[in-house]
Structures are given as C-alpha cells and as structure tokens.
Amino acid sequence: MKANIHPKYVDAEIRCACGNVIKTRSTKPSILIGICNVCHPFYTGTQKFVDTAGRVDKFQQRMAKTQAAQAAAAKRKKK
C-alpha cells in the first residue's frame, strides 16, 4: 500500500432527523440522515398503505380475476 494516499478513518456520529444518534467509524466525522431504524415504519410496526388513487384496490381486483381464471382453467383441464 502506498503511504499517505488513504483518507483518515475517524470516529463518526450518524444523526437522524428523529434525534437518534449512532456511533460508528467513517471517513466523515458526522453524517445526517432522514430516517433510521428507530423511526422507519417498517421497523416500528406502524407501517400503513397509502392508497391515494385506489391502486391497492385495483391490484386486488386484478389478482382476484386472475385467480378465478386460473381456477376455471384448472377445472376445465380436470374434465
């Protein structure tokens, strides 16, 4: 390895918008993030579906039609 070409690896703080602070090591002394494992809905269990245009309902209707068609095709195949 060549000497004096690598960045310094220092203790760092990762700060989230929610106020959580994580201590680690990095080439930057402080890192600001918008969301972390403490405030992310997936990890907190408060995940909810935002259905502004009825996309979830449309998908569920298409899925029901597809499953019904597959069941009908399987029934015809048995006969």
Element holding 61 (H helix, E strand): helix 55-78
Quote the tokens at residue 76: 């015809």
pLDDT tens, residue by residue, 19-50: 899 999 999 999 999 888 888 877 777 766 66
Identify the domain containing residue 61 by its residue range. 10-72
Domain harbouring 25, CATH code: 4.10.80.400
pTM of the model: 0.50
Q: Is residue 56 part of a domain?
A: yes
| Whole-angstrom distance, CA of residue 6 vs CA of residue 43 | 36
Three-state secondary-structure class, residue 33: strand
Other CB atoms within 10 A of residue 46 CB: 9
